[in-house]
Chains A and B, each alone.
Chain A
Amino acid sequence: MKIHSDHPALKKQKKVKASSIVLFAFLGLYTLIQVYPLIWLFLFSFKNNNEIYSGNAMGIPKVWRFSNYFTVLTSGNVAVYLLNSVIVTGATIIISTILLTTSAYAIVRMHWRWNHLFLTYILLGMMVPLHATLLPLFIVLKNMNLLNSYFSIILPYVAFALPMGIFILVGFLQNIPKELEESACLDGCGIYRIFYYISLPLVRPAIATVAIFTFLSSWNELMFANTFISADKIKTLTVGIMSLSGQQGTQWGPIGAGLVIATVPTLIIYLMFSNQIQKSVIAGAIKG
């Protein structure tokens, strides 16, 4: 049977095709807008000023100068900043995970009079902007001689990670049946062993979500780090890179390399866990 080209089914298909090409073009264009600046950064991190100034600011580098990375890691203190960021972020994740899992467990599972009030109190913290706490914390830290120490930023990072983390963990724990814990109790397990050997492994997915979130926010944080830390040997990547561009204001290549070094860890973690990260962002926002 011959089908006419103006058959309704075919026509519809054609129309869908045309419109989806337009949509794809639009999405593609927008992808370019979102990604090209980052590609451009990657490209100029391999160039030197001569190449940029002599007209190749935009294109592929003629020579891939890996030495820019070497320069910035050795002479620009970036290796130290990187290590500091790892220390601060790692400590923040470990301490906050301990605090928020124990607290969430006590809120959901244990019986005490103030558990609802305690949860509400902590959740109110999600509304507090950092700015309001900046000066008081600065004064307290200064009086305790804690400025320019890892502590001065780890403690605020942990404290501000708690509300969202407890929110996510409480939601997760509520949906886990208690039977395993009850049978462990019958077998003579105490509360601490039950928490550590039974409950903690069960909430691991939620802990991972929270940890990723905490990683992103503390790795990228600027205001506290910039205010509480001025000594080069404690600076994290964000603060370090700001001062770096002041020193080497005109050296595009090494600065670009520094920016790439600061970005790659987050990018790798993001690409590895992109689904989980996106879910945790949504979960964090829906609380309203």
Chain B
Amino acid sequence: MEKMLRDKKAIFLFTFPTFLLFTIIVVLPIFFSIHYSTLDWDGFSKGVFVGFTNYKNLFVNNTDGFLQSVANSLVLALISVGIQLPISLLLALILARGIKGERFFRTVYFIPVIISTVVIGQLWMKIYNSDYGMLNGVLRAVGLDSLTNAWLADSKTALACVFAAMLWQYVGYHMLLLYAGAKSISPDIYEAARIDGASELKIAFHITIPLMKSILCVCIIFAVTGSFKAFDLIYVMTGGGPLHSTEVPTTLMYTTIFSRYQYGYGSAMAIFIIAECLVFTLVIKRLFSNDQDEA
């Protein structure tokens, strides 16, 4: 057995294809991207090394609204943590108490997560449609005709509408993670608290939520980095428009590379997105671990 498990040929056969594919498709491209981000390159002629100029153009002499797109993604991160997570947490806590139909609700809330973003995007475009969409239909039905709007065509409302669809899609995802976290807490603790006469609300705020810290940390990281990486739904619904009002760094990166052929400058955006995700992940983890030390 021992000799067999040291069979070098078998080990090579079992691991090398994985290693090769993973290295070529996942690891090497990151280094290429870093390299591209230092070039002035249109993808056709030869790239010229320009050092940090692309990064400087992102932040200092910016002309394409990159900073606004970063601000938009920060707003998305903020409302994901401030609105989406509380809704998910509330649903998770209610379901984790063991209510009748627990499994049904859990299953249903998760459905939007598994549906293709293209479908979700098309669906919400129809919902927001100014003439026959569901939203205006509901508003007319309750006599609020004055509030009807061409939601996605109006640069004042488009961003909020796209964000609403994104929050809607992923509430179920966070709900599931938080539900699993709440369920993993020993029921004895609740029992003891109830015997001591603690109210449900007190139990939630003083026992359940503090004990869910590690999964809350995961959810916040996902919500924040997910907001920075968000692409599909915005690309489908507005493509960054109207008048760049719904632009986020990923959509801007996409048009910069594939419509304006600024390969170097677009790669700098890609690297910025990775760096932003990494920094925020570390900061959020640090915040949570400090918190735990004090407790």
Q: Which of A210-239 contact B (CB under 8 A)?
A: 216, 219-220, 222-223, 226-227, 237-239
Interface segment, one of B62-70, B120-128, B146-154, B203-211: B120-128
Interface segment, one of A2-10, A66-74, A95-103: A95-103
Q: Which of B96-143 contact A (CB under 8 A)?
A: 99, 101, 105-119, 122-124, 126-127, 131-134, 137, 141
Q: How far is the CA of A259 from the CA of B30 in the complex (A)?
A: 34
Tell me how many residues of B have a C-beta within 8 Å of chain A.
88
Residue-wise interface mask of B (1-23) relative to A, using a CB-CB cutoff of 8 A (1 in contact, 0 not) = 11011111011011101110110
Given contacts A111-B6, A285-B222, contact A122 B22 (CB under 8 A): yes
18 A-B pairs in the complex with CB atoms less than 8 angstroms apart: A23-B94, A27-B99, A27-B101, A38-B115, A57-B132, A58-B134, A110-B11, A128-B30, A134-B257, A134-B270, A136-B29, A220-B117, A266-B116, A267-B114, A267-B115, A274-B107, A274-B110, A278-B176
Given contacts A27-B99, A105-B14, A259-B122, contact A185 B111 (CB under 8 A): no
Closest CB-CB distance, B237 to chain A, in whole Å?
A: 11
Q: How far is the CA of A274 from the CA of B200 in the complex (A)?
A: 30
Residue-wise interface mask of A (153-187) relative to B, using a CB-CB cutoff of 8 A (1 in contact, 0 not) = 00110111011001000000000000001100110
- B122 and A110 contacting across the interface, CB-CB below 8 Å: no
Q: Which of A249-288 contact B (CB under 8 A)?
A: 252, 255-256, 259, 262-263, 266-267, 270-271, 274, 277-278, 281-282, 285-286, 288
- For A137, A155, A266, A278, the residue with the greatest tally of chain B CB atoms inside 10 Å of its CB is A278
Other than the given A134-B257, A186-B1, 18 more pairs (CB < 8 A) read A19-B200, A27-B95, A52-B132, A100-B18, A103-B14, A106-B11, A131-B273, A131-B274, A135-B29, A220-B115, A220-B117, A222-B116, A223-B231, A223-B232, A238-B117, A262-B119, A267-B114, A278-B106
A94 adjacent to chain B (CB < 8 Å): no
Given contacts A34-B108, A159-B26, A222-B235, contact A129 B274 (CB under 8 A): yes
Closest CB-CB distance, A125 to chain B, in whole Å?
A: 5
A18 adjacent to chain B (CB < 8 Å): no
- A255 and B21 contacting across the interface, CB-CB below 8 Å: no
Given contacts A37-B123, A111-B5, A263-B116, contact A139 B253 (CB under 8 A): no
Which listed residue (A127, A162, A262) contacts B22, Cβ 8 A? A162
Residues of B participating in the A interface, judged by any CB pair closer than 8 Å: 1-2, 4-8, 10-11, 13-15, 17-19, 21-22, 24-30, 32-33, 36, 43, 91, 94-95, 99, 101, 105-119, 122-124, 126-127, 131-134, 137, 141, 168, 171-173, 176-177, 180, 200, 215, 218, 222, 229, 231-232, 235-236, 250, 253, 257-258, 263, 266-267, 270-271, 273-274, 277-278
Which listed residue (B33, B141, B173, B200) contacts A281, Cβ 8 A? B173
Residues of chain B within 8 A of A281, CB atoms compared: 113, 173, 176-177
Which listed residue (B15, B36, B109, B115) contacts A118, Cβ 8 A? B15
Residue-wise interface mask of A (116-160) relative to B, using a CB-CB cutoff of 8 A (1 in contact, 0 not) = 001001100101110111111101000000000000000110111
Which listed residue (B32, B114, B132, B250) contacts A266, Cβ 8 A? B114
Closest to B87 in A: A30
Residues of chain B within 8 A of A267, CB atoms compared: 111, 114-115
Residues of A participating in the B interface, judged by any CB pair closer than 8 Å: 19-20, 23-24, 26-27, 30-31, 33-35, 37-38, 40-41, 44, 52-53, 57-58, 99-100, 102-103, 105-107, 109-112, 118, 121-122, 125, 127-129, 131-137, 139, 155-156, 158-160, 162-163, 166, 181-182, 185-186, 190-192, 194, 216, 219-220, 222-223, 226-227, 237-239, 241-242, 245, 252, 255-256, 259, 262-263, 266-267, 270-271, 274, 277-278, 281-282, 285-286, 288
- A238 and B118 contacting across the interface, CB-CB below 8 Å: yes
8 A-B pairs with least C-beta separation? A136-B29, A133-B29, A159-B25, A136-B32, A106-B14, A102-B14, A220-B116, A103-B18
Closest CB-CB distance, B188 to chain A, in whole Å?
A: 21
Closest CB-CB distance, B137 to chain A, in whole Å?
A: 5
Which listed residue (B7, B28, B36, B111) contacts A270, Cβ 8 A? B111
Residues of chain B within 8 A of A278, CB atoms compared: 106-107, 110, 176
Q: How far is the CA of A237 from the CA of B25 in the complex (A)?
A: 23
